[in-house]
């Protein structure tokens, strides 16, 4: 081989080595990784270019001996590193150690993961080679993820992750454990239907499909605790992938107090505050139901309009407090004359309306009305006073008199005024 050919081959070899070094340097930079070599006899360190960058050092200027390196290492890691180096020599195995150092150029504390191995010449250790990876950002992400996991786990909101196919629980947080009284292991052996007392398989599948199609869905349900008691929850349900499987995450909040307040407000909106009886609004709804049922099933029902006689005199002479007690007592007496399925409503000061449904005999209305008149006229003991009042009852019938709300109410009212004229009795509209 000529000298010229030898030089050309040498240049090509140098170019290949340089290309490999550049590739290696790029790989280190992309991986946030540096490589090093420690000469054991001299304790001198040799760093790759990226190792200098990780440490915040200037290549060619900074001294690379043991003391200089330890000056960057946080004090609590000096002894563990010495032990790790000795272990690599004693065991001839790869040793890993996580430490923190203070960068020279900016003083920033960074996390480093070392991997190293001792190299021997016969039985004599001559150097240690290894890598140093800056894992500061990775640890920050992991810490942040752990912090978020702790927030979710210890949140009072119940969090469930369920398998989208089987609806089995695959994760529950501490909030769910505390609310239901089951252990973590017990809940992971359960299906979401075991927890939701009123939820059916068909309803659960429908909710799952809506959540997938809409990306989230809100649903109200009732949870059953381990001791058998139940409480209301509102769930925000989202689809997600968990452990490489399609799943749903449920964020459930106890809304028992909200439900109680809603029911209380609904009751107040539909009931008379003084007597607790249905008011005009609820009466209207019940009357509409009775009319629909009558039209569909050819059922007969009666509407009784009741007015208390002599009440105004008592209210004026003894005051509103005594008057209220009279109204309460009268409403209780009237209520005792009808069935559970019938409706008694207070529609005015001393006016009441009854819907008698499912009448099987023609004289049912007269029997009830007669009982009302007799019971109301019995003496009352109110605040040390013996009082007497009376009741006038007007009766309209569906469908004989009318088949609509306004006419039935109007006809019963007219019949009541006729009864009032005659005093302490009941009158049918068709007899007016």
In the chain, where the domains are located:
1-27, 31-139, 154-258, 271-431
Q: Where are the alpha helices (DSSP H) in 236-394?
A: 256-270, 280-297, 311-318, 320-335, 364-376
For residue 96, what are its two tokens? 């890993």
Contacts with 432 (C-beta within 8 Å, 6 or more apart), sequence order: 414, 415, 418
From start to end of 12-164, where are the E strands?
A: 33-39, 44-47, 95-102, 109-121, 124-134, 158-163
Structurally, what CATH architecture does the domain formed by 154-258 represent? 2-Layer Sandwich (3.30)
Write down the pLDDT at residue 125: 92
Q: Calculate what percentage of the chain has a pLDDT beyond 90.
A: 66
For residue 44, what are its two tokens? 């001198």
CB atoms within 10 A of CB 193: 14
For residue 66, what are its two tokens? 């043991």
For residue 367, what are its two tokens? 């029997």
Q: Which residues of the chain have pLDDT under 50?
A: 17, 19, 23-24, 26-27
End-to-end alpha carbon distance in the chain: 138
CATH for 271-431 is 3.30.70.270
Compute the distance between CA of residue 310 and CA of residue 304 in angstroms, rounded to an integer. Answer: 19
Write down the pLDDT at residue 35: 84
DSSP 378: S
Burial (0-12, 13-18, 19+ Cβ within 10 Å), 136: middle
Compute the distance between CA of residue 239 and CA of residue 164 in angstroms, rounded to an integer. Answer: 8
Do 101 and 112 form a contact (C-beta atoms < 8 A)? yes
Write down the pLDDT at residue 303: 97
Torsion-angle region of 119 (φ positive above 0: left; ψ -120 to 50: alpha; else: beta): beta
**Topology adopted by domain 31-139:** Beta-Lactamase (3.30.450)
> What H or E segment, with its residue span, contains residue 344?
strand 343-346
> Strand 426-428 vs strand 390-398: parallel, antiparallel, or unpaired?
parallel
Compute the distance between CA of residue 37 and CA of residue 31 in angstroms, rounded to an integer. Answer: 19
Write down the pLDDT at residue 26: 47
Write down the pLDDT at residue 198: 87
Write down the pLDDT at residue 359: 86
Write down the pLDDT at residue 192: 93
Write down the pLDDT at residue 24: 45
Are the folds of 154-258 and 271-431 the same?
Answer: no
This prediction's pTM = 0.62
């Amino acid at each position: 081989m000529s000298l010229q050919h030898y030089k050309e081959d040498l240049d090509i070899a140098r170019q290949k080595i340089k290309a490999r070094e550049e590739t290696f340097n790029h790989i280190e930079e992309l991986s946030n990784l540096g490589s090093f070599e420690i000469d054991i006899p001299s304790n001198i360190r040799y760093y790759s270019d990226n190792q200098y960058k990780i440490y915040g050092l200037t290549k060619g200027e900074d001294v690379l001996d043991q003391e200089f390196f330890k000056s960057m290492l946080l004090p609590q890691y000096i002894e563990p590193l010495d032990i790790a180096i000795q272990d690599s020599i004693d065991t001839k195995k790869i040793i890993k150690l996580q430490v923190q150092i203070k960068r020279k150029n900016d003083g920033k504390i960074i996390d480093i993961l070392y991997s190293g191995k001792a190299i021997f010449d016969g039985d004599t250790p001559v150097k240690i080679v290894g890598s140093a990876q800056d894992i500061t950002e990775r640890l920050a992400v992991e810490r942040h993820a752990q912090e978020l996991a702790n927030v979710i786990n210890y949140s009072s909101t119940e969090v469930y992750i369920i398998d989208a196919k089987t609806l089995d629980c695959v994760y529950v947080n501490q909030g769910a454990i505390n609310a239901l009284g089951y252990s973590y292991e017990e809940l992971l052996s359960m299906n979401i239907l075991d927890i939701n007392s009123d939820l059916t398989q068909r309803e659960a599948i429908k909710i799952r499909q809506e959540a997938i199609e809409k990306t989230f869905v809100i649903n109200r349900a009732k949870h059953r605790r381990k001791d058998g008691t139940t409480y209301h929850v509102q769930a925000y349900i989202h689809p997600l992938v968990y452990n490489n499987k399609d799943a749903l995450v449920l964020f459930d909040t106890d809304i028992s107090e909200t439900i109680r307040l809603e029911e209380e407000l609904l009751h107040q909106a539909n009931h008379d505050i003084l007597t607790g009886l249905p008011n005009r609004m609820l009466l209207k709804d019940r009357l509409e139901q009775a009319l629909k049922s009558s039209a569909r099933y050819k059922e007969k029902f009666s509407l009784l309009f009741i007015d208390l006689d002599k009440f105004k005199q008592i209210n004026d002479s003894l005051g509103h407090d005594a008057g209220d007690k009279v109204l309460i007592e009268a409403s209780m007496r009237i209520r005792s004359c009808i069935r559970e399925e019938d409706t008694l409503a207070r529609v005015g000061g001393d006016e009441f309306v009854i819907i008698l449904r499912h009448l099987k005999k023609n004289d049912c209305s007269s029997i009830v009305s007669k009982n009302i008149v007799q019971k109301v006229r019995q003496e009352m003991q109110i605040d040390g006073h013996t009082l007497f009042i009376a009741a006038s009852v007007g009766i309209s019938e569906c469908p004989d008199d009318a088949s609509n709300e306004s006419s039935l109410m109007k006809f019963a009212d007219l019949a009541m005024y006729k009864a009032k004229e005659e005093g302490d009795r009941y009158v049918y509209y068709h007899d007016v």
